[in-house]
Amino acid sequence: MPNQLTMEIHKSEDGFWAKVKELPHCYTQANDFSGLIEMVNDAIYTYLEIPDKFRKEVGFYLPKGICEELRKKEWESVFREISVKNNLREGSSTLQMCLNA
């Protein structure tokens, strides 16, 4: 599994859609930020043919800034802050693998 991938985010009428630049034809969409992150991970795992039973063990891709914050704070408090800030915008965002502890 790559340690880092680049996600290009676009806004649409229905929410957001994203593509993973390093993985040709790896696209997904969702209504909101947390859904987009979940769907991007599912698209990556599907693209890389990671069986469902191993997905939890290999980790979860999150935006790099969130991974850095997770190293400093508790998981739940970070997601609470993110949902309040909700500063998702169009453009590129670097995803980083956050391994399960």
- For residue 78, the SS3 value is helix
pLDDT score for 101: 40
pLDDT score for 95: 65
Query: What is the spatial distance between Cα 6 and Cα 15, in angstroms, rounded to a whole number?
Result: 19
Q: What is the pLDDT of residues 5-25, one digit of tens each?
A: 999 999 999 899 999 999 999
Q: What is the pLDDT of residues 31-59, one digit of tens each?
A: 998 899 999 999 999 999 999 888 888 88
CATH number of 4-98: 3.30.160
Residue range 62-91: average pLDDT? 67
**Six token digits for residue 78:** 């970070």
**Domain boundaries of the chain, sorted by first residue:** 4-98
pTM exceeds cut of 0.85: no
